[in-house]
């Protein structure tokens, strides 16, 4: 049976080879609750501690401090082979000496279930993962995508309490990655297994997760739904890591307004800072519109890049860093480098970053 | 503040796996008792005379010319054999891995043949050909005053015996140098000669140095060839230490010579392992580089080829002579064909055959498994004393057999361990002496296997032992095979340590061969040698079949 996961004050220190007195904190005081049946993604650049965190949940790494619970049961001292938290490995880790069937049946055989029951169960799961008819093949005869499916089948056949994914799609090409992403999500929702998913790919995280945990340097920067993380990032790091962003310095004015590049904008959300303070605004490139005449800010087109579904402009605006603007859709006007333009942006789309 | 205490943390993790803890404790104690303790005993014996601590025995080195010349002779023979062995080995490896020449497979097997032979094949062949009644020296050239005994005899015999080891080591080195690098040098205008000296040779240099040191150690520790071919006028360390103990019953002098023998061996081993080991430019791609080298011109190519063919021809000649000698009544006088020598082996001398087989059959599986288990512990497990276990378990590779033999009779002749004269002492000696090769190949193969494959097994519910049995062992089957074959071959052909440990109850074929050579009955020696070679070849085929069966799917699998 699947169960919620609770992580409390989890730390992992590794020895520091340069300075033994100062261990490296790969994971630093992480608290996280994963609800039953929820898929939570750990997202962050390499070295942020996400894989270490996942491996502690799996039991491959020993926490230096803190606790991991599956349901009410503290898992810290449970060895990895007793955790019932099966994992889809980044390298797939298919047993090369066993057939596809035996790979998937591996864990069931250790539970000494009846031959018949194992066969029925494995066949079911192979069908579920699109591997019907491949039971007797050797792993070397499979493509990357099929190996990925075997890894997935091998994990879900165990009906684990928790399902773990360690960057499962990083070895696939872009098209296959998109497809597998959808399949994994659909399967996970159908089976309703509590899942923890590690990736460094923000698109993958956005598309697959119920909630995302953004990590940096072993610390959780923000936890939220994909929408919250994108539109209300907790800080500059999160904003920069998820999607593209303009960071515009502005001065807080009276009555919930900000002054930037000669324009005064009244914001919808209340501003925490007091008038006269300097704040950083997050402006996503796609919320800005350009027009030859209409707008509140003056700018000059410095660079144009046509990317098919959208056109990307770099606009020089006096008094700020250049703005990145993305225009899309058939109605969008086109400009060339050197054009003078006017920029407008809806106040609701401006997010004031916490310092 | 997070407190990091490595050993305590590792112990905490280990404590959850009592089987693993037990295994580690058992292996640690076994290594301590059967590898380290005998060496300590040798050291103590060399520093004591009748129970009194003294440096007197080492003082003998200065006083007695015999000992001084033994040191000089041994070191000069080893150095020369190392150099010649590496030159021949390198040429053979280069020709057989990089050049497109006919008969590569046959030449490969012929070049390797001496590795699986009992230690006296080349010595006996040399006696058949160049001895007092040798075909070449007496029958063909009619020489009266030529003596094969001494420096040249030992060097010739050892080069023949040990060049194949250099060949195998260098083969791996050369095969791992990507020929694209040579092409790149040619592409920017280097000649073939320049490419070799500026690219190929420098890249293989650490491997060459390593091969030299391996051959140096083998030659220095060699007992059989010097015993047969050195002669009284050319003392050498290993036989001299043996003679001190069995001839003069002088344990402390024997132990002292053993220590003297141990020093250069361990030094060479340390350099090979800790200095050169880290400097090998080996890139493991999993794909053998098949493309032929373009850096040698046809005349050079065929010149090198003829050297390899010549070596293979000498191998064939030596073995041919052994075969003929085994069926010849009295070599040098009466060349009538006879089965008398075999009749002797299978009648009077048959105990030695069965004894050797029993010992080899017990040692082989134990050694194969122990090697893989230790490799698994070294590569995959973290525990306090990890480095010490790795060092201790491969140490015996560098310890000359003579030293081990003396150590074993010193250590296991008196309480707490009384084992002399038993089957156990021979098995344990072979087990710990020959397990390092299995360990090292296990470690090498295991390091290339993605640890997440074993983690996946754990993750799916397999305990440490199940993971080892169902996943690790099948994956490292090639190393397991190497370990088994090496253990079997060595158990069948060992002499230097074993000669101290055999008894009336448990005797060995190699010791019988030595006795026959000693009493001038070369025909019986040759017959014994052929029986050993036959058994070894059959065993390799059986082990191969067994290991293949164990790992049906993995035969073609690249991890």
The pLDDT of residue B552 is 56
φ, ψ for residue A31 (rounded to 5)? -120, 135
CA pseudo-torsion sign A62, A64, A67, A73? positive
What the block records as the tokens of A72 is 């009410």
Least Cα separation, residue A2 to chain B (angstroms) = 16
Nearest to B395 by CA among B447, B434, B445, B425: B434
pLDDT in tens, chain B (559 residues): 344 566 777 777 777 778 888 889 999 999 999 999 999 999 998 888 777 888 877 887 878 888 889 999 999 999 999 999 999 999 999 999 888 889 989 999 999 888 888 878 899 999 889 887 788 877 777 777 788 889 999 999 999 999 999 998 898 888 777 777 787 788 887 888 888 888 888 888 888 998 999 899 999 999 989 988 988 889 999 999 998 888 888 888 889 999 999 999 989 888 887 777 665 554 444 344 445 667 788 888 899 999 999 999 999 999 999 999 999 888 878 888 888 889 888 888 888 899 999 999 999 999 999 999 999 998 888 888 888 888 887 788 889 999 999 999 989 988 778 887 888 999 999 999 999 888 988 888 888 888 899 999 999 999 888 998 899 888 888 888 888 998 999 899 888 888 888 888 888 899 988 888 888 888 999 999 999 999 999 998 998 888 877 765 443 333 3
Q: How far is CA B254 from CA A148, A267, B410, in A?
A: 63, 95, 11
Residue pair A252/A273 in contact (Cβ under 8 Å)? The answer is yes
Query: Contact A96/B475, CB-based, under 8 Å?
Result: yes
CA-CA-CA-CA dihedral for B511, B517, B522, B527, to nearest 10: 0
State both tokens at A157: 């056949």
Residue in the block written with tokens 């043949």: B113
State pLDDT tens for residues A218-267: 999 999 999 999 999 999 999 999 989 999 988 888 878 888 877 888 88
Instruction: State the nearest Cα–Cα gap between B184 and chain A, in angstroms.
Output: 31
Minimum Cα–Cα distance from A108: chain B residue: B460
For A147-200, the pLDDT digits (tens) are 999 999 999 999 999 999 999 998 888 888 899 999 999 999 999 999 999 999
CB distance A138–B457 less than 8 Å?
no
Chain B interface test: which of A93, A135, A138 (most B C-beta within 10 Å): A93
Buried-state track A94-119, b at ≥16 Cβ within 10 A, e below 16: bbbbbbbbbbbbbbbbbeeeeeeebe
Which CATH superfamily is B69-338 part of?
MetI-like (1.10.3720.10)
Separation in Å, CA of A138 to nearest CA in chain B: 7
Partner-chain residue, chosen from A58, A62, A95, that has the shortest CB–CB distance to B459: A58
Kindly provide the ipTM of the predicted complex, given to two decimals. 0.81
Q: Are strands A257-260 and A297-306 parallel, antiparallel or unpaired?
A: unpaired
Q: 3-class DSSP state for residue A135?
A: coil
For residue range A301-355, list pLDDT tens digits in order.
999 999 988 999 999 998 888 999 999 988 888 999 999 999 998 888 889 887 6
Q: Which DSSP string do the residues of B438-471 spell out, in sequence order?
A: HHHHHHHHHHTS-HHHHHHHHHTT--HHHHIIII
Under DSSP, is residue A302 helix (H, G, I), strand (E, B) or coil? strand
Judge: B16–A79 Cβ closer than 8 Å, yes or no. Answer: yes
Size of interface A-B (CB pairs under 8 A): 102
Q: Say if the Cβ atoms of B459 and A81 lie within 8 Å.
A: yes
CA distance linking residue A180 with residue B69, whole number of Å? 75
For chain B, the domains span: 69-338
**CA A245 – CA A309 distance, rounded (Å):** 18
Q: pLDDT, tens digit, for every residue of B472-508? A: 888 888 888 888 998 999 899 888 888 888 888 888 8
CB contact under 8 A, B461 and A87: no
Neighbours of B108 (CB within 10 A): 19
Contact check, Cβ <8 Å, A97/B466: no
Residues of B in contact with A23 (CB under 8 A): 2, 4
Least Cα separation, residue B458 to chain A (angstroms):
5
Domains of chain A: 5-240 (3.40.50.300), 244-287+296-352 (no CATH)
Interface list for B 514-553 with A (CB within 8 A):
551-553
Q: Is B247 exposed, middle or buried (0-12, 13-18, 19+ CB in 10 A)?
A: exposed
**How many Å lie between the alpha carbon of B13 and the closest alpha carbon of chain A?**
8
The answer to whether A104 and A153 have CB atoms below 8 angstroms apart is yes
d(CA B263, CA B258): 9
């Amino acid at each position: 049976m699947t169960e919620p996961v609770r992580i409390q004050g989890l730390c992992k220190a590794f020895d520091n080879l340069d300075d033994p007195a100062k261990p490296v904190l790969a994971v630093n005081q992480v608290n996280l609750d994963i609800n039953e049946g929820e898929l939570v993604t750990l997202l962050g650049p390499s070295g942020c501690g996400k894989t270490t965190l996942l491996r502690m949940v799996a039991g491959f790494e020993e926490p230096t401090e803190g606790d991991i619970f599956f349901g009410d049961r503290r898992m810290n001292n449970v060895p990895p082979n007793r955790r019932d938290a099966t994992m889809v490995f980044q390298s797939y880790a298919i047993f090369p000496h066993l057939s596809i069937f035996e790979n998937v049946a591996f864990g069931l055989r250790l539970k000494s279930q009846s031959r018949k029951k194992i066969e029925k169960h494995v066949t079911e799961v192979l069908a579920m993962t699109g591997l019907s008819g491949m039971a007797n093949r050797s792993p070397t005869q499979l493509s990357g995508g099929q190996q990925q499916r075997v890894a997935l089948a091998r994990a879900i056949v165990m009906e684990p309490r928790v399902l773990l994914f360690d960057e499962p799609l990083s070895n696939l090409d872009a098209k296959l990655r998109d497809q597998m992403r959808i399949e994994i999500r659909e399967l996970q929702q159908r089976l309703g297994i509590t899942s923890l998913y590690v990736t460094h790919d923000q698109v993958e995280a956005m598309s697959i997760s119920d909630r995302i945990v953004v990590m940096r340097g072993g610390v959780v920067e923000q936890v939220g739904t994909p929408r919250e993380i994108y539109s209300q990032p907790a800080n500059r790091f999160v904003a920069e890591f998820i999607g593209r962003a303009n960071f515009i310095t502005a001065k807080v004015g009276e009555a919930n307004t900000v002054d930037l590049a000669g324009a005064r904008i009244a914001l919808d959300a209340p501003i925490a800072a007091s008038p006269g303070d300097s704040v950083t605004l997050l402006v996503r490139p796609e919320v800005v519109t350009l027009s030859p005449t209409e707008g509140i800010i003056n700018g000059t087109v410095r660079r144009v890049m046509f990317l098919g579904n959208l056109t990307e402009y770099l606009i020089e605006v006096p008094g700020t860093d250049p703005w990145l603007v993305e225009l899309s859709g058939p109605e969008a006007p086109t400009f060339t480098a050197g054009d003078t333009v006017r920029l407008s942006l809806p106040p609701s789309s401006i997010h004031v970053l916490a310092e | 503040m997070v407190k990091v205490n490595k050993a305590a943390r590792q112990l905490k993790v280990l404590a959850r796996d009592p089987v693993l803890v037990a295994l580690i404790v058992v292996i640690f104690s076994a290594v301590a008792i059967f590898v380290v303790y005998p060496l300590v005993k040798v050291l103590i014996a060399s520093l004591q005379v009748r129970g009194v601590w003294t440096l007197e025995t080492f003082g003998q080195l200065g006083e007695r010319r015999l000992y001084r010349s033994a040191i000089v002779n041994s070191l000069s023979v080893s150095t020369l054999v190392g150099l010649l062995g590496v030159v021949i080995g390198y040429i053979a490896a280069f020709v057989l891995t990089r050049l497109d020449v006919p008969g590569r497979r046959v030449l490969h097997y012929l070049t390797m043949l001496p590795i699986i032979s009992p230690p006296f094949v080349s010595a006996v062949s040399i006696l058949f050909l160049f001895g007092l009644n040798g075909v070449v020296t007496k029958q063909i050239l009619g020489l009266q005053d030529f003596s094969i005994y001494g420096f040249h005899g030992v060097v010739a015999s050892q080069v023949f015996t040990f060049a194949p080891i250099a060949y195998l080591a260098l083969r791996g080195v050369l095969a791992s140098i990507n020929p694209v690098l040579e092409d790149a040098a040619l592409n920017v205008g280097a000649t073939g000669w320049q490419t070799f000296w500026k690219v190929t040779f420098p890249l293989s240099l650490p491997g060459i140095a390593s091969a030299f040191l391996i051959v140096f150690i083998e030659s220095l520790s060699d007992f059989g060839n010097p015993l047969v071919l050195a002669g009284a006028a050319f003392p050498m360390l290993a036989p001299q230490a043996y003679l001190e103990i069995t001839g003069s019953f002088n344990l402390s002098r024997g132990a002292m010579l053993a220590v003297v023998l141990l020093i250069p061996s361990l030094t060479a081993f340390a350099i090979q392992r800790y200095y050169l080991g880290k400097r090998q430019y080996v890139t493991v791609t999993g794909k053998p580089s098949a493309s032929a080298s373009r850096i040698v011109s046809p005349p050079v190519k065929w010149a090198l080829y003829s050297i390899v063919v010549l070596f293979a021809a000498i191998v064939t000649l030596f073995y041919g002579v052994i075969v003929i000698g085994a069926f010849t009544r009295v070599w040098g006088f009466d060349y009538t064909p006879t089965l008398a020598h075999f009749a002797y082996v299978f009648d009077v001398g048959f105990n030695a055959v069965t004894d050797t087989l029993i010992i080899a059959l017990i040692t082989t599986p134990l050694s194969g498994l122990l090697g893989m288990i230790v490799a698994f512990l070294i590569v995959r497990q973290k525990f306090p004393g990890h480095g010490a276990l790795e060092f201790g378990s491969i140490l015996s590779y560098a310890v000359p057999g003579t030293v081990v033999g003396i150590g074993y009779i010193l250590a296991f002749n008196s309480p707490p361990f009384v084992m002399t004269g038993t089957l156990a002492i021979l098995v344990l000696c072979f087990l710990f002496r020959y397990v390092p090769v299995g360990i090292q190949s296990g470690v090498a193969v295991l390091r290339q296997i993605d640890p997440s494959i074993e983690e996946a097994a754990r993750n799916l519910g397999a305990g440490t032992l199940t993971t080892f049995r169902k996943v690790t062992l099948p994956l490292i089957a090639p190393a397991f095979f190497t370990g088994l074959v090496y253990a079997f071959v060595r158990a069948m052909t060992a002499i230097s340590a074993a000669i101290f440990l055999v008894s009336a109850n448990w005797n060995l074929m190699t010791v019988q061969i030595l006795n026959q050579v000693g009493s001038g009955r070369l025909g019986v020696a040759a017959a014994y040698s052929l029986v050993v070679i036959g058994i070894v070849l059959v065993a390799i085929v059986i082990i191969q079949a067994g290991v293949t069966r164990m790992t049906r799917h993995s035969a073609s699998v690249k991890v």
